[in-house]
A and B are shown apart, each in its own frame.
Chain A
Amino acid sequence: MTNEKMEQRLASAVEKTAPNDVNGVLSRCDERKGTVIPMTTKKTTKKRWTTLAAACLAVMLLGGGGIFYQQAHAVASVVSLDVNPSIELKVSKSEKVLVCTPLNEDAKAILADMGDGADLKGAKLDVAVNAIVGSLVRNGYLDSISSAIMISVEDKDTARAEKLQRELTSAVDGVLQTCEAKAAVLTQTLTQDATREQQARENNISTGKAALVNRVLAINPALKFDALAKLSVEELKDLAEAGAPAMPIGKDAAAYAAEQYAGTAALDSVTAEVDSELDEFPAHYEVELHTTWGEFEYLVDAYTGKVLSGQKDLLTTAPVGDETAKPTVPTGDIGHAKAKSIALNHAGVSENKAYDMEIELDDEDGTLVYEVEFKSGGMEYSYEINAATGAILKHEAEIDD
């Protein structure tokens, strides 16, 4: 028997034994499509957090209540606070902070004026949490009505975990009301899970946030943990509510897409403020570009990165003679990550679908360029990107053979 014939026979055998139950599939699709987590969002702060907290309690990994055993003998509970900064507090039985750890770069900035968390050692938990939430508010993390802070408590003692969680929730809510911050407060108590702890460690996030990421993954297993871990709590919450149809591009990429569209990517004087609206339809990021001659709003599709609305070529609207509006000659380096996102964005390929990624900084006749090459979906892409301005100098896409 020839190889070809053998393969044909094999194909035919698989064909004959493959399931053929299209109705079974369709019946399940009915049930699944549009099944979203009932974390309903109300636009009033007070109501909002109670609804959300209740929904979260019901939905998230509460299980039979928290039983968490911390090896360090003095640690009774572990409290984590997640916005995008992730901060972990180890707490003694008497609710004193034993260790306060910033888990990511954003968190370090929040704890910068508290000795990177060291100053909070020995403080009562509520005092420490007040200080941290105050800093989060000052740094603008909790201003928007759609932002969210998540409080997770891990404790082997269920009753104590729940008591702590109630206290913290009302403390945080108090701070938010005083500061007129509009963020939602999500809460959860967790049981110990070695896999989740490892996931959290590997991605520099708290176990609380890892639990939220797993929640999203349970809805859509095709997404990637590490990519999700980079999203904010607000984005993850909305993503779960929306049934996690796809991987959002993230705030940075959204800001970049808006700036590209507006033609201000090379302008240092333009700053962007991004809000995610993944729970709206179509899911989008709201990007506000602040220029010296006004503020401009852009809506960017959360999954495709396409700009849905906003003023194109913003510079044409700048008043004549405004020096700051002219592109300064950038001397900096956009960096590998930015070069990569420019190329992926241009190719319309999401990062998790690209492979064989190669990025090199090269000198082309005195101009520093990033050469970005990657493959995706049977195509091979190559880009040359000006390392100072981020402008695409050359791009090619050909069938990958």
Chain B
Amino acid sequence: MLSMLMTTEYAPAEERHELQQSLLRVAGGDRDALAELYRRTRPAVYGLALSYLRNAHDAQDLTQDVYVQVWDCAEQYRPTGSPMGWLLAVCRSLCLMRLRREERHAALSEEEWDAIPAQECGLDTDERVLLQHALASLGDEERRIVLLHAVTGMKHREIAALLELPLPTVLSKYHRALKKMRSCLEGDDAR
């Protein structure tokens, strides 16, 4: 799975085509296609949800909501658009709705970045530090950009379009974020 994710950027056409086919089959009511789509894209959807909701548990819940939503409105997807972009746009819109709803209930207290789920699944030291401490050192947008870039293999301009940010902003935030993460990691190493 990891290798597939990492090669996404170098073989986008095939990946895109396959996702497209899955989405079209989901639109036709094919449950196996939904399962396949879920298996292929869940880290990306979860990563984006996590970057918005800041909490592993909420992000896991929302990830499930995204696929239920996709099942209900896959017909809306047009084969001219990027399938990953569409999926993540659904995810983003659900995240924003949820945040708005919560905002209405109560002014949020300063929430902690809490990215490690209760049942964690064999993270090594670097992964732990990255997921919890390094990401916590980033601003919201920096975190979103880095996660999207690392997990989805999306290009910076695609990230810019999804997050409705100018491309130069995405690039500078991306580089700043990597710098911060590195210093967090190396600080940890030095200890």
Contacts and interface: CB of A to CB of B under 8 A. Distances in A.
A348 to B, nearest CB: 6
Given A14-B43, A18-B42, A22-B35, A6 B85 contact: no
B71 A32 contact: yes
Given A7-B150, A25-B38, A376-B80, A245 B72 contact: yes
B178 A6 contact: yes
B35 A401 contact: no
Contacts of B47: 14, 18
Interface in B116-170: 116-117, 120-123, 126-128, 130-131, 134-135, 146-147, 149-151, 157-158, 161, 164
B123 A222 contact: no
Interface in A3-53: 3, 6-22, 24-26, 28-29, 32-33
B5 A11 contact: yes
Contacts of A21: 64
A215 interface: no
Given A18-B43, A221-B97, A12 B127 contact: yes
Given A6-B178, A6-B182, A9-B126, A17 B85 contact: no
A33 B34 CA distance: 13
B149 A222 contact: no
B6 interface: yes
Given A221-B93, A246-B73, A375-B161, A1 B82 contact: no
Interface in B1-31: 1-2, 5-6, 29, 31
B78 A353 contact: yes
A27 to B, nearest CB: 10
Given A10-B131, A245-B72, A246-B73, A15 B149 contact: no
A18 B146 CA distance: 16
Nearest to B5: A11
Contacts of B171: none
Interface residues of B, number: 68
Given A10-B130, A377-B85, A15 B34 contact: no
A355 interface: yes
Which interface residue of A10, A14, A195, A378 has the most chain B CB atoms within 10 A?
Answer: A14
Interface residues of A, number: 50
B105 interface: no
A379 B158 CA distance: 11
A25 B64 contact: yes
B151 A10 contact: yes
A392 interface: no
B52 interface: no
B80 A377 contact: yes
Which interface residue of B60, B97, B185 has the most chain A CB atoms within 10 A?
Answer: B60
A14 B85 contact: no
Contact of A9 (B73, B86, B127): B127
Contacts of B122: 16
A19 B34 CA distance: 15
B81 interface: yes
A221 B94 contact: yes
A195 B50 CA distance: 27
B53 interface: no
B90 A378 contact: no
Given A10-B130, A11-B150, A17-B56, A32 B2 contact: no
A69 interface: no
A10 B164 CA distance: 24
A222 B76 contact: yes
Contacts of A303: 75-76
B185 A1 contact: yes
A243 interface: yes
A15 B131 CA distance: 11
A34 B22 CA distance: 20
A220 B71 CA distance: 11
Contact of B29 (A33, A246, A347, A375): A33
Interface in A303-336: 303
Contacts of B29: 33
20 contacts: A1-B126, A3-B182, A6-B178, A8-B2, A10-B135, A10-B147, A10-B151, A13-B130, A13-B131, A16-B120, A17-B117, A25-B64, A26-B34, A222-B89, A243-B72, A347-B80, A348-B80, A350-B76, A377-B82, A378-B158
Interface of B: 1-2, 5-6, 29, 31, 34-35, 38-39, 42-43, 45-47, 50, 56, 60, 63-64, 67-69, 71-73, 75-76, 78, 80-82, 85-86, 89-90, 93-94, 97, 104, 115-117, 120-123, 126-128, 130-131, 134-135, 146-147, 149-151, 157-158, 161, 164, 178, 181-182, 185-186
Interface of A: 1, 3, 6-22, 24-26, 28-29, 32-33, 195, 219-222, 243-247, 303, 347-350, 353, 355, 375-379, 400-401
Given A3-B182, A25-B35, A29-B31, 18 more contacts: A6-B185, A9-B127, A10-B130, A11-B2, A15-B2, A15-B5, A16-B127, A24-B64, A25-B71, A26-B34, A28-B64, A33-B71, A219-B72, A220-B72, A221-B69, A222-B76, A378-B81, A378-B158
What are the 4 closest A-B residue pairs judged by CB atoms, nearest first? A377-B81, A13-B127, A18-B46, A246-B76
